């Protein structure tokens, strides 16, 4: 298997950065999320530089939903990232991590009044998703006596080659204002004395490995920017969202990167702004590309069972990584202490949850496994821990962040006390 440069095999052991996974599991226990912070910074810089090579006024708003551990947000804040935030919780985390309110864009199709109030009070820009939200926001900005900079989320009605649950720019999606109605929405916003229509936003979906839909979205956005110019709106920023995928199936997925994304999108963006004579900032919101490959989920084999299939029953299930069950997602699995042994058997990796769907990986060629073996599930950094649950009264596991030779706990494992503490008998 082709491993990314921060992973390696030495003496049969899987290493992440300079750290032996078997030793990390012994030190911190399993299940365990282990993140290579240096890899995150590398991915972030790569993404930002790929776009800045075409146009200097680029801002990267990391999609905090992908992984909102405070230590990771803090590292990205120091590196200069802003954030796409989707709830008042994510606003609070991003601010606590040191990001500035003006470097955040608050997105979402169902914001509560409390969410909106926090964004107004803190001076966070808001991507408005409906005319009802616009009216509520104007009222709130007026009563707080604040000017709020807004964008509208555009639904560009584009088909994208990804799992239907994560295609967000379809005509039938719940997100955004249909592109034919966008200009009239901005007209409406111009009549709101406390709202300043400063930007325009779209996001077409996630885990996209073909570049054509991104280029098409850029074309739609620049066409709309022209129509907005005609009604007197000068956009400060155009936000093209996130969505660049990663090669989870390392043997067969195309290895596309931000350079390919930039080569597909930037010609449309640059041609559009030149024709219009405008120079807005270009905002982008990558989540997965920045964090996915930085992280392993380490899980230990509790028992093996040779039935109609060879089951390795492990201590992590969809309580900790829901992607395989929810999107039929594929994650590579490596036997972290036997990484040089021949893959002679076919295994199903099954979690401990009381549901037959709790399978993390199917039909994988791996060495012979026994109870106590350690498995590493790759590419677990995006939409991994953040989507975890306490189903079956299982406390969530710890997270460790690696920087160089240092390994630090950045989230302790929950205990039964944590689970019980919010209950009232
Ligand atoms: N911007 C907006 C408005 C978004 O809704 C998202 C992701 C992003 C940016 C970041 O997209 P990315 O670069 O990470 O593809 N849980 C699913 C993915 C859900 C994506 C939600 N929105 C999964 O595990 O595949």
Q: pLDDT, tens digit, for every residue of 47-85? A: 999 999 999 999 999 999 999 999 999 999 999 999 999
pLDDT at 363 over 80: yes
Query: Candidates 47, 66, 161: which one to mutate for ligand 1, based on the most atoms within 8 Å of Cβ?
Result: 66
pLDDT, tens digit, for every residue of 310-341?
A: 999 999 999 999 999 999 999 999 999 999 99
- Report CA(402)–ligand 1 centroid distance (Å): 24
On whether the CB atoms of residues 90 and 111 are closer than 8 A, the answer is no
Give the ligand 1 atom nearest the CA of 288: 14
Going by pLDDT thresholds of 50, 70 and 90, the confidence category of residue 143 is very high
Residue 371 has pLDDT above 90, yes or no: yes
45 Cα to the center of ligand 1, angstroms? 19
Ligand 1 atom closest to the CA of 383, numbered from 1: 24
What is the Å distance from ligand 1's center to 228 Cα?
Answer: 27
Model's pTM, two decimal places? Answer: 0.97
Instruction: Classify residue 49: in a domain, yes or no.
Output: no
pLDDT score of 368 more than 80? yes
16-29 pLDDT, tens digit each? 999 999 999 999 99
Summarize pLDDT for 258-304 with one digit per residue, the tens.
999 999 999 999 999 999 999 999 999 999 999 999 999 999 999 99
What is the C-alpha to C-alpha distance for residues 218 and 204, in angstroms, rounded to an integer? 10
Active site residue 192: no
| d(C-alpha 128, C-alpha 137), whole Å | 9
Predicted confidence at residue 401, as pLDDT, reads 98
Compute the distance between CA of residue 327 and CA of residue 25 in angstroms, rounded to an integer. Answer: 28
| 276 and 320 inside one domain | no
Closest atom, ligand 1, to C-alpha of 242: 13
Cβ distance 319 to 390 under 8 Å? yes
Cβ pair 43, 244 in contact under 8 A:
no
pLDDT of 245 higher than 80: yes
Q: Which atom of ligand 1 is nearest to the CA of 292?
A: 14
In the reported structure, the alpha carbon of residue 304 is separated from the centroid of ligand 1 by a whole-number distance in angstroms of 35
DSSP state of 204: -
∠ at Cα 89 (41, 79), nearest 5°? 20
- What percentage of the chain exceeds 90 in pLDDT? 93
Residues whose beta carbon lies within 6 Å of some atom of ligand 1: 63, 65-66, 84, 107, 166, 168, 203, 206-207, 241-244, 285-289, 323, 327, 382-383
| Boundary of a domain, candidates 237, 261, 286 | 286
Q: Provide the pLDDT confidence category of residue 158 given band limits of 50, 70 and 90.
A: confident
Instruction: Give the separation between CA 134 and CA 191, rounded to whole angstroms.
Output: 11
DSSP tag of 2: P
Same domain for 253 and 356 = no
Residue at 325 is within a domain: yes
State whether 130 and 271 are in the same domain. Answer: yes
Q: Which of 286, 311, 343 finishes a domain?
A: 286
Task: Tell me, yes or no, whether 56 lies in a domain.
Answer: no
111 and 240 in a single domain? The answer is yes
**Within-domain flag for 296:** yes
- pLDDT above 90 (res 160): no
Q: Is the peptide bond before 31 cis (omega within 30 degrees of 0)?
A: yes
Q: How many CA atoms lie within 13 A of 126 on its CB side?
A: 33
Position 169 confidence tier, pLDDT thresholds 50, 70, 90? low
Provide the domain count of the chain: 2
Residues 297 and 408 reside in one and the same domain? yes
* Same domain membership, residue 198 and residue 173: yes
The verdict on 264 and 247 lying in the same domain is yes
Residues 102-130 have pLDDT tens digits of 999 999 999 999 999 999 999 999 999 99
Q: Could you tell me if residue 205 is inside a domain? A: yes
The verdict on residue 176 lying in a domain is yes
The reply to whether 339 falls in a domain is: yes
Q: Which of 67, 106, 288, 330 to mutate to test the pocket of ligand 1 (most atoms within 8 A of CB)?
A: 288
Is 94 contained in some domain?
Answer: no
Task: Considering the candidates 192, 202, 354, 397, report the single residue annotated as catalytic.
Answer: 354
CB atoms within 10 A of CB 425: 3
Write the CATH number for 131: 3.20.20.10
Question: Which of 286, 303, 338 represents a domain boundary (last residue)?
Answer: 286
Q: Looking at the CA of residue 243, tell me the nearest atom of ligand 1.
A: 15
Statement to judge: residues 316 and 264 lie in one domain: no
Between the CA of 65 and the centroid of ligand 1 the distance, in Å, is 7
Ligand 1 centroid, distance to 274 Cα (angstroms) = 30
Spatial contact of 385 and 375, defined as CB atoms under 8 Å apart: no
Question: Which stretches of 315-358 are assigned E, i.e. beta strand?
Answer: 333-335, 345-350
pLDDT digits (tens, 9 = 90+) for 80-98: 999 999 999 999 999 999 9
- Which residues 6+ apart lie within 8 Å of 180 measured at CB? none
Asked whether residue 275 falls in the same domain as residue 298, the answer is no
Say what the pLDDT of residue 157 is. Answer: 79
Dig out the tokens for 102 from the structure.
């003006």
| Residue 66 CA, closest ligand 1 atom number | 14
355/306 same-domain check:
yes
Q: Which of the listed residues 48, 287, 328, 330 should we mutate to test ligand 1's pocket, taking the one with most ligand atoms within 8 A of CB?
A: 287
| Domain of 353, in residue numbers | 7-36+292-420
- Same-domain check for residues 282 and 298: no
pLDDT value of residue 164: 74
What is the pLDDT, as a whole number, of residue 242?
97
**Are 171 and 254 contained in the same domain?**
yes
Residue 407: pLDDT over 80: yes
* CATH code, domain with 378: 2.40.37.10
Task: Select from 41, 18, 126, 81 the least CA-distant residue to 381.
Answer: 41
**pLDDT above 70 covers what percent of the chain?**
99
Task: Calculate how far, in angstroms, residue 164's C-alpha sits from the geometric centre of ligand 1.
Answer: 13
**Mean pLDDT in the chain?**
96
Give the residue, by CA position, lying nearest to ligand 1 atom 19.
166
Q: What is the pLDDT of residue 151?
A: 98
pLDDT digits (tens, 9 = 90+) for 409-424: 999 999 999 999 999 9
């Amino acid at each position: 298997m082709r491993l990314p440069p921060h992973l390696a095999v030495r003496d049969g052991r899987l290493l992440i950065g300079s750290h032996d996974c078997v030793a990390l599991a012994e030190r911190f226990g399993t299940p365990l999320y282990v993140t290579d912070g240096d890899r995150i910074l590398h991915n972030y810089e790569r993404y930002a530089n790929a776009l800045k090579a075409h146009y200097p006024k680029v801002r990267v708003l990391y999609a905090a939903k992908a992984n909102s551990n405070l230590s990771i947000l803090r590292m990205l804040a120091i590196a200069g990232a802003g954030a796409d935030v989707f709830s008042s919780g994510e606003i609070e985390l991003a601010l606590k991590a040191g990001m500035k309110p003006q470097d955040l864009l608050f997105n979402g199709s169902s914001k509560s009044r409390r969410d909106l109030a926090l964004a107004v009070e803190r001076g966070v820009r808001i991507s408005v998703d409906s005319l009802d939200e616009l009216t509520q926001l104007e009222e709130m900005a007026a009563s707080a006596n604040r000017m709020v900079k807004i964008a509208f989320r555009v639904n560009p009605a584009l088909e994208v080659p990804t799992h239907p649950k994560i295609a967000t720019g379809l005509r039938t999606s719940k997100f955004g204002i249909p592109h034919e109605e966008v200009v009239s929405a901005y007209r409406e916003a111009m009549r709101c004395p406390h709202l300043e229509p400063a930007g325009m936003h779209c996001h077409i979906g996630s885990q996209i490995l073909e570049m054509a839909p991104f280029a098409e979205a850029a074309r739609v956005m620049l066409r709309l920017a022209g129509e907005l110019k005609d009604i007197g709106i000068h956009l400060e920023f155009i936000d093209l969202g996130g969505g660049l995928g990663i090669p989870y199936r390392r043997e067969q997925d195309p290895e596309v990167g931000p350079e390919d994304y930039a080569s597909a999108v930037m010609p449309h963006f640059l041609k559009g702004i030149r024709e219009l004579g405008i120079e807005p900032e270009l905002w982008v919101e990558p989540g997965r590309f920045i964090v996915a490959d930085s992280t392993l989920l380490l899980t230990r084999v509790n028992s093996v069972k040779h039935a109609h299939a060879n089951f390795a029953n492990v201590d992590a299930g969809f309580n900790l990584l829901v992607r395989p069950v929810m999107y039929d997602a594929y994650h590579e699995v490596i036997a972290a202490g036997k990484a040089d042994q021949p893959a002679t058997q076919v295994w199903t990796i099954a979690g401990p949850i009381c549901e037959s769907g709790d399978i993390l990986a199917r039909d994988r060629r791996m060495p012979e496994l026994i109870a106590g073996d350690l498995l590493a599930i790759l590419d677990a950094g995006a939409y991994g821990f953040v989507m975890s649950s306490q189903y079956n009264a299982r406390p969530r596991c710890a997270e460790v962040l690696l920087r160089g030779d240092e390994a630090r706990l950045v989230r302790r494992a929950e205990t039964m006390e944590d689970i019980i503490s919010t209950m009232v008998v």
